[in-house]
Amino acid sequence: MLRVFASWRGYFRVNKICVVTSKAATYYAIVSRMRKAGLPFSSVLPGADRGDCILIITSASETGQFGGLVLALEDLDENPGVFKGQLLSRLSEGGDALLVGVDPGIRIGLAVFYGETSLEYSTFDSAARLSLRVGAFMHGVPARRFVIRIGNGYPAMAAKLAELLRLEAPDAVIEMVDESGTSARRVRMRGIQGDQGAAAKIAFRKGEVVNPRSPRPHV
């Protein structure tokens, strides 16, 4: 099984995701999504040597032309983070965990990771919109296990988020995490807002499970 490490940029220097299609519209659509997801890729002409391609992305009607790992644009999500997670999941055969960190507050920070690779940092002003975004990752990205960790700094909001996320992602383990030391003023991550950085810290800090009936174990 291929293993996608946190240092995936170095991994992709010698192993390529290749865009291979004879359809101009499909090509530009794939390239646009790859760039938004921040994933390196190579453009390969149909019929050219594909020996160093570890994954091919093409149109649904062209997938039958290729062996090995191939994905159709039509089967991939338009959200850049979900799209990125789908590609990494395919490369690792779904062998990593999907980790979600949530930092409650007036602005709700969200950080999503596949294994140790970041998929999305974002901020929401609505618990409902955040839960829908988390649900898109849970339903769209195959993973070995799903874990949602919520900071406990705002207990009432944290409880509300836990309930919404339990409904949106019933297969996920939901944990309440002691968020001391993750506050926005203490978190410094280049290009990342404070609440998003706090959510990233929360994602990797084990907490107390609040939905013990879930079949998924701890990470």
pLDDT at 6: 42
Query: What CATH code is carried by the domain that includes residue 143?
Result: 3.30.420.40
Residues 61 and 149 in one domain: no
Q: Which two tokens stand for residue 163?
A: 């309930």
In the DSSP assignment, the letter for residue 210 is S
188/158 Cα distance (integer angstroms): 23
Element (H, E) at 99: strand 97-103
Residues 13 and 28 in one domain: yes
pLDDT at 135: 95
Q: Is residue 44 part of a domain?
A: yes
Residues 160 and 80 in one domain: no
Residues 77 and 129 in one domain: no
pLDDT at 62: 95
Inter-axis angle of helices 80-91 and 127-140, to 10 degrees?
Answer: 30
pLDDT at 186: 46
Q: What values do phi and psi take at 35, rounded to 5?
A: -65, -40
The boundaries of the domain holding residue 133 are: 97-209
Dihedral sign, Cα of residue 162, residue 166, residue 169, residue 173: positive
Looking at the 3D structure of the chain, how many domains does it have? 2
21/59 Cα distance (integer angstroms): 7
Element (H, E) at 199: helix 194-203
Averaged pLDDT in 10-residue chunks for the chain of 219 residues: 44 71 96 93 90 91 90 96 94 89 94 94 94 95 95 92 93 90 53 81 92 50
